Structure 1
Amino acid sequence: MMLLGQESGTLWEATGWLLTAGYIGLISIISMYGLHRYWLVFLFRKHLRQSKRPGERFEKLPRVTVQLPMFNEEMVAERIIDAACEIDYPSDRLQIQVLDDSTDSSREIAEARCKYWANRGIDIEYLHRIDRVGFKAGALEAGMTSVKGDLIAIFDADFVPPRDFLRKTVHYFTNPTLGMVQCKWGHLNRDDSLLTKGQAIFLDGHFVIEHTARNRSGAWINFNGTAGIWRREAIEAGGGWQHDTLTEDVDLSYRAQLAGWDFLFLPWLDCPAELPPEINSFKSQQHRWTKGSIQTAKKLLPRIFTSNIDLRIKIEAFFHLTAPMVYLYVTLLALLFYPAIYVNLNTTGSGRLTGILLGMTFFALGTVSGGFFYVISQRVQKRGLLSTLALIPMLMAIGIGIAVNNAIAVLEALIGHDSAFVRTPKYNVQSPPLSPSSAPISPPTSHTHISPPQTNKKRFGVIAIPTQKLSICLLEIAMGVYLLECIRLSMIHSRTVVSLPFLILFAAGYWYVGLTSLWWHIQAWRSSRLSMAQTAS
């Protein structure tokens, strides 16, 4: 009996140490990516004043093609076509391509608007496909057959390019090695809700900190699919638009830079766009971006690692393309909370508590880095410190809450599960223009474009999203219930109370995302029922 008890104790000890090792290992990996954010902030501050201007100016402006890929964009098709046709550029040097794969009434809207502008002397071409092969990448590739411009500007349907966009970007292409210029995304509906405020901060961190830090330090950046302008030759040298990933923009960006082309990011030039106003649209967008990034990492990291580029570029490419893996690590960490707490309560080893405390220290380091990263991105745009700090807990909760949704995307990419390119629904929501206090950073001149006031806010029925299944939000709610049990256990045992703040943050994130997703599923169902009833009547 004593021998049996000793074997049982040994097995328990081994299991405990294995769980603790896994727990600490996950936190260490998450913290590694968190520490990398500190590095990006350091690079950003170091190179903040290194704003670039065109070395020369074209005597004769180059011919530019503006491509507008769209699919079932009834709410915004007219707005983006009008904005593109009103861009300030010589009409004999400008071509507009509307690349429309629509299957609903937006096809008639877009085609009619193209005829309107064609009758006013605009060189505008309406191209409609019926097969959607390759989705957005396929539409862009199909448009290349009739492109007239040496430069190609691309705008998604929810963007509103400023009239002076081309005037402020084309002269950078006097540099013969420049392949692409990316501009910063602005936000038409930033202040609509806590969700849109959170999304705006997420995107500001990516553009203001990441893009600026990488680009000005000599590392590689990516085209973000819109609000950018390419040299046609760079697209062709990179192998053209390919559709074996869901992020064709990131894929082509790295292939073009592997082919030797330089990229430039202009943080001072805003191109405003609509943020997804409801959680399921946001989750669908995040799923696509996450999955596409991991697909691109699988496809291109081996080529990048075996190329003769600088080691620092390879390291940055690794962190950039694999960053979405953190969502999988966060989900696994959450699942380990309960066994980690249970092992800590029942083990006799005095070193186990030290391991848990060390793990929580690593996790706190990773968490604080995220808050610091986003606060800096807001402060440099002259947004209030207190208002930003007040949003950080919400920001962290959203990031944790969508971890399950994005972890599924990571797993799908890793196992090679194919899925369609699902567009983010557009609602044509609009807000007043940016105030001077939120002007873009580091403008090369004193003239910064401010969008004209747009205060007619439209509200439409909620659009259902096929990829956002009800089961995902139920799983998120289940994770919230699980975390509540972890909180209960932690509160009644002092040895694990150190983990309580993180457990509360995780629970809040899962409950917020899960319940709001469920709410919008119900609203989409109601909108669908109402639409069917109206059609029947």
Structure 2
Amino acid sequence: MLFNFLKWKKSKKVKSPKFDFTKPDEIPVVSIQLPIYNEKQVARRLITQICQLNYPKDKLEIQVLDDSTDASAQKNKALVEAFQQKGIDIIYLHRKNRVGFKAGALKEGLAVAKGEFIAIFDADFLPKQDWLYKTVPYFKDEKIGVVQTRWGHLNKDYSLLTKIQAFALDFHFVLEQVGRNFRNHFINFNGTAGIWRKKCILDAGNWQGDTLTEDLDLSYRAQLKNWKFKYLLDVITPAELPVVIHAARSQQFRWNKGAAENFQKNYSYVLKQKDVKWVTKIHAFFHLLNSSLFAVVLALALLSVPILLIKANSAAYHVLFYIIAFFGLSTLVFILVYAFTYRKIEGKKASVWKFAGLFFSFFSIAMGMSVNNTKAVIEGHFGKKSGFVRTPKFNSVENKKIHIKTKRNLSWENGIEFILMVYFAFGIYSAFQLNEFGLLPFHLMLFFGFSFVWYKSVFKMS
């Protein structure tokens, strides 16, 4: 990915064919879908923002796909009716059930959509007014099925939790998406802040709700049908990051379980596809499998304390440990690729010390989430179904200090996280007792990560 990204930076950018929007007959009809569910804090902000997008009124339709079961439904409907009175082509579609969850809502809206192209925004996104003018023109190339933009972060500096989420997402949206797209490997539509060709959706089999990441699923089915994806690194669509730990946990659970479900659903089709290059198949295989890394991380973490004790007391195994240590170089690669991403995002503001602090925090808390995410991965691979749990949004941009009145649903995962916090404290203690410090940085990060996740989950939440 790093090599691909660096080659992309040095390459002469090929100009893509684009619609000429100075010619009215080249401006296509676009439908914007807004799938929402009990989004009382942000729904009004989203609908208002979308109604202010620059695009010819006679070429734009807005669909509010509202599955809400709370009082926000009536407020959303009233807001839509108010914009209708202003001459905006906006409709309100309310389902009495959540069959297929988000995928079901998108599919139902698609059946009556007027547009040749379908833009999708989740409730916490705020596209800039010229967003359609920066994305729609690329569909001049009839092979393009999707145009995806990069996520921005409205509340990046709200807390340590939001900072590390932004840090992780930036890696995906800079290094991974660019690296894959540049070499024509499979990438994924990110569920929002992108636009589809309606024909592409239908050709790929339409939205399907049998996985928790319907966006990844449809992305792969579309690319297996030889549709191309266009990724726009420099078009940024701002969004709000989860500000409470239970929201981040549920989002991580859904993403990681959905990825595992998609591996089981789609990997065999990828490997059997005759007109896909073998290197693309390798990238796609591990792309689908990437959430399973958390199970490996948790296993390595659990084994690290016994390994520390064995290494200190069994001289016969020292050579083996030196060989194993060689693979620690993978951590240096990990640091390097995140450093490139950080530098790309921050530019002249990039600081070595700030990066070191962010990376330590991110790496630690990611490992601290490994119990939550490993459970998700196992359920995904073994076919255990669960409902689509939306990520709560609190409009932290306007509400600088949020007082959360959410009931804490403590789980057995929290108990395991506490046990592991104590377990890795013992690992740190053992390092000093045995005068064996090779695994000390690893155990310090594990202790910090599990302490942070456990404390935030049980006591503070945000």
| TM-score range for the pair, normalised by the shorter chain length | over 0.9
Counterpart in 2 of 1:328?
295
Indicate which of 359, 379, 389 corresponds to 2:343. Answer: 379
Counterpart in 1 of 2:413?
472
Indicate which of 367, 371, 374 corresponds to 1:407. Answer: 374
Indicate which of 321, 330, 353 corresponds to 1:366. Answer: 330
Structure 1 CA distance for aligned equivalents of residues 319 and 215 of structure 2: 45
Q: Quick check: 1:318 aligned with 2:285? A: yes
Indicate which of 485, 492, 506 corresponds to 2:426. Answer: 485
- Asked if the contact 1:54/1:171 (under 8 Å) is kept, the reply is no
Structure 1 CA distance for aligned equivalents of residues 448 and 118 of structure 2: 44
After TM superposition, give the deviation of residue 334 of structure 1 in Å.
Answer: 1.3
Counterpart in 1 of 2:310?
343
2:421 maps to a residue whose letter is: G
Cα distance change on mapping 1:63 and 1:465 into 2, 3 Å: farther
Q: Quick check: 1:513 aligned with 2:433? A: no
Q: Counterparts in 2 of 1:55-454, with a 5 A limit?
A: 55-58=17-20, 59=23, 60=25, 61-308=27-274, 309-347=276-314, 349=316, 352-363=317-328, 365-381=329-345, 382=347, 383-386=349-352, 387-430=354-397
After TM superposition, give the deviation of residue 501 of structure 1 in Å.
Answer: 1.5
Structure 2 CA distance for aligned equivalents of residues 54 and 357 of structure 1: 51
Q: What SS does the corresponding residue of 2:111 show, helix, strand or coil?
A: helix
TM-score by length of 2: 0.95
Structure 1 CA distance for aligned equivalents of residues 406 and 104 of structure 2: 24
Counterpart in 2 of 1:502?
442
Cα distance change on mapping 1:91 and 1:101 into 2, 3 Å: same
After TM superposition, give the deviation of residue 459 of structure 1 in Å.
Answer: 4.2
Cα distance change on mapping 1:264 and 1:469 into 2, 3 Å: farther
Counterpart in 2 of 1:47?
8
Higher relative contact order (CA 8 A, sep 6+): 1
State the number of aligned residues: 453
Cα distance change on mapping 1:50 and 1:213 into 2, 3 Å: farther
Q: Counterparts in 2 of 1:516-527, with a 5 A limit?
A: 516-520=456-460
Structure 1 CA distance for aligned equivalents of residues 219 and 239 of structure 2: 21
Counterpart in 2 of 1:4?
none
Q: What SS does the corresponding residue of 2:63 show, helix, strand or coil?
A: strand
Q: Max radius of gyration: which structure?
A: 1
Q: What SS does the corresponding residue of 2:196 show, helix, strand or coil?
A: strand
After TM superposition, give the deviation of residue 511 of structure 1 in Å.
Answer: 1.0
Counterpart in 2 of 1:450?
none
Structure 1 CA distance for aligned equivalents of residues 402 and 444 of structure 2: 35
Query: Please, which runs of 5 or more residues in structure 2 have no aligned partner?
Result: none
Q: Report the identity percentage.
A: 41
After TM superposition, give the deviation of residue 51 of structure 1 in Å.
Answer: 4.2
Structure 1 CA distance for aligned equivalents of residues 395 and 13 of structure 2: 33
Cα distance change on mapping 1:160 and 1:465 into 2, 3 Å: farther
Structure 1 CA distance for aligned equivalents of residues 449 and 325 of structure 2: 18
CA-to-partner distance for each residue in 1:22-62, whole Å, 9 max, x for gaps?
Answer: xxxxxxxxxxxxxxxxxx11110111245454413243200
CA-to-partner distance for each residue in 1:248-276, whole Å, 9 max, x for gaps?
Answer: 00000000010110001000000000000
- Asked if the contact 1:427/1:458 (under 8 Å) is kept, the reply is no
Cα distance change on mapping 1:469 and 1:411 into 2, 3 Å: farther
After TM superposition, give the deviation of residue 191 of structure 1 in Å.
Answer: 0.8
Structure 1 CA distance for aligned equivalents of residues 314 and 341 of structure 2: 44
Structure 1 CA distance for aligned equivalents of residues 401 and 69 of structure 2: 22
2:267 maps to a residue whose letter is: L
After TM superposition, give the deviation of residue 369 of structure 1 in Å.
Answer: 2.2
CA-to-partner distance for each residue in 1:183-206, whole Å, 9 max, x for gaps?
Answer: 000000011111111111100000
After TM superposition, give the deviation of residue 463 of structure 1 in Å.
Answer: 5.8
Q: What SS does the corresponding residue of 1:497 show, helix, strand or coil?
A: coil
Cα distance change on mapping 1:464 and 1:300 into 2, 3 Å: farther
After TM superposition, give the deviation of residue 370 of structure 1 in Å.
Answer: 2.2
2:339 maps to a residue whose letter is: V
- Asked if the contact 1:150/1:232 (under 8 Å) is kept, the reply is yes
TM-score by length of 1: 0.82
